[in-house]
């Protein structure tokens, strides 16, 4: 993780099968019309639960999560307590301490925490992480290999010294990242596997704005977002005169993407040598679309008419859905998982009886 931001774009995976559970915590100061505290939980980069201090509700964002919480009401109660009672006030206090540390007065300030676990089912690689950011920049993170904290800004040096010296907290953090989170991820993947592991193939169309515009091969309606799309000639992937677009979400939870090809130098007799290939992770058969002038849908000439004189269907209209996602955060998980699994040993309270969160974010307490 190079940067933590107030807003987080959906992540796009590679062809390998990866699973992850991520908790996001964000506290803000001086930001009008935005909650002082927001929490979110993502499983496999899909938002599954959300809370904020404005709505005062924990909101499941997936049907399977709603069912999971109904069967495990103790989880919902812990989420409520962490979202609206314990964590927000502690983060608010820590922002005041950081503003003092950075000699700031007034203005907008953001404190963030991301923590979780990733598992690559294909390679077996596992990664546990915990990191704090302040005002859009990395501040301090935990190195699981060395079991030490890394100061990512000079101002974080005091935090590192205090946190490295707290061996019980180091042990507890390591337990969270190597025992608690992996078990939690397995629980979620197992319970929601019908939804998390589903695949939906897209419809693919050839689109062109004007006769001189690049030709766009557009796929929409696929799931998950672990997909690849490219142009090839005579069976070989093309890299020149090709521009790849981002994977974007549709309103129904599926995704869309496109890849453009500059066909200005392609002679009519060579068109049959070009193909657009769409590959979806977990699906063996690719969708191959040959470069055929009769299949190109355009918007030149009469509005709404294809170059073959037919009206385009709704599925062929290019839908660009801007996506901006709150860097939602979801509770600290520490109380949640300790209550659920009781496998992590809670560190002894600090001398001033502050909480785990407030101690972490104020090296002078």
| Residue indicated by tokens 């557009």 | 218
Which of 131-151 are b and which e, b meaning 16 or more Cβ less than 10 Å from the residue's Cβ?
bbbbbeebbbbbebeeeebeb
**Model pLDDT, residue 16:** 53
- Per-residue confidence (pLDDT) for residue 300, from 0 to 100: 64
pLDDT at 203: 95
Per-residue pLDDT of the chain (365 residues; tens, 9 = 90+): 333 333 232 333 334 577 898 999 999 998 888 898 999 998 888 888 999 999 888 999 888 888 888 888 887 887 888 788 877 887 888 898 899 889 898 889 999 999 999 988 778 888 999 999 999 999 999 999 999 999 999 999 999 999 999 999 999 999 989 988 888 888 888 888 777 777 889 999 999 998 889 999 999 999 888 899 999 999 999 999 999 999 998 888 789 999 999 998 898 889 999 999 999 987 889 999 999 988 999 876 443 333 433 333 333 333 333 333 333 333 333 333 333 444 444 444 333 333 333 333 333 33
Query: What per-residue confidence (pLDDT) applies to 206?
Result: 96
135/11 Cα distance (integer angstroms): 21
> b/e for 40-64, b at 16 or more Cβ within 10 A?
bbbbbbbbbbbbbbeeeebebebeb
pLDDT given at position 185: 87
pLDDT attached to residue 285: 92
CB neighbourhood size of 250 (10 A): 17
Which residues, including other chains, have CB under 8 Å from residue 323's CB and lie 6 or more apart?
A: 9, 10, 248, 249
Cα distances (Å, whole numbers) of residue 255 to 119, 225, 315, 319, 362? 23, 6, 13, 10, 42
* Structural domains of the chain, ranges and CATH numbers in brackets: 7-195+324-360 (3.30.500.10), 203-316 (2.60.40.10)
Written as six digits, the tokens of 18 are 């990866």
CA end-to-end span of the chain, whole Å?
A: 28
Predicted TM-score (pTM) of this structure: 0.58
pLDDT of residue 82: 79
Hey, what are 12's tokens?
């796009």
């Amino acid at each position: 993780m190079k940067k933590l931001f107030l807003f987080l774009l959906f992540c796009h995976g590679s062809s390998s099968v990866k699973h992850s559970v991520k908790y996001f915590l964000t506290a803000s100061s001086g930001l009008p019309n935005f909650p002082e505290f927001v929490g979110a939980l993502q499983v496999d980069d899909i938002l599954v639960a959300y809370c904020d201090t404005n709505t005062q509700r924990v909101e499941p964002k997936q049907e399977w999560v709603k069912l999971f919480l109904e069967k495990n009401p103790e989880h919902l109660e812990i989420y409520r307590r962490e979202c609206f009672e314990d964590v927000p006030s502690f983060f608010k206090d820590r922002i005041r301490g950081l503003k003092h540390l950075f000699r700031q007065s007034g203005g907008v300030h953001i404190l963030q925490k991301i923590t979780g676990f990733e598992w690559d089912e294909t390679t077996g690689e596992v990664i546990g992480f915990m990191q704090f950011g302040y005002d859009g920049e990395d501040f301090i993170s935990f190195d699981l290999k060395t079991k030490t904290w890394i100061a990512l800004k000079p101002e974080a040096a005091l935090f590192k010294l205090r946190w490295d010296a707290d061996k019980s907290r180091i042990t507890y953090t390591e337990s969270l990242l190597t025992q608690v989170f992996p078990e939690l991820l397995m629980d979620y993947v197992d319970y929601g596997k019908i939804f998390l592991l589903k695949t939906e193939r897209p419809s693919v169309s050839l689109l062109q704005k004007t006769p001189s515009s690049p030709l766009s091969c557009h796929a929409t309606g696929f799931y998950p977002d672990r997909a690849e799309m490219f142009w090839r000639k005579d069976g070989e992937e093309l890299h020149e005169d090709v521009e790849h677009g981002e994977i974007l979400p549709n309103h129904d939870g599926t995704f869309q993407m496109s890849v453009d090809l500059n066909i200005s130098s392609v002679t009519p007799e060579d068109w049959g040598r070009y193909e657009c290939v769409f590959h979806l992770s977990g699906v063996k058969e690719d969708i191959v679309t040959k470069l055929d002038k009769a299949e190109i849908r355009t918007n030149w000439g009469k509005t709404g008419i294809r170059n073959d004189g037919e009206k385009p269907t709704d599925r062929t209209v290019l839908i660009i859905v801007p996506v901006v996602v709150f860097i939602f955060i979801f509770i600290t998980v520490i109380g949640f998982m300790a209550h659920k699994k009781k496998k992590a040993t809670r560190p002894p309270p600090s001398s001033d009886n502050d909480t785990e969160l407030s101690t972490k974010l104020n090296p002078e307490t």
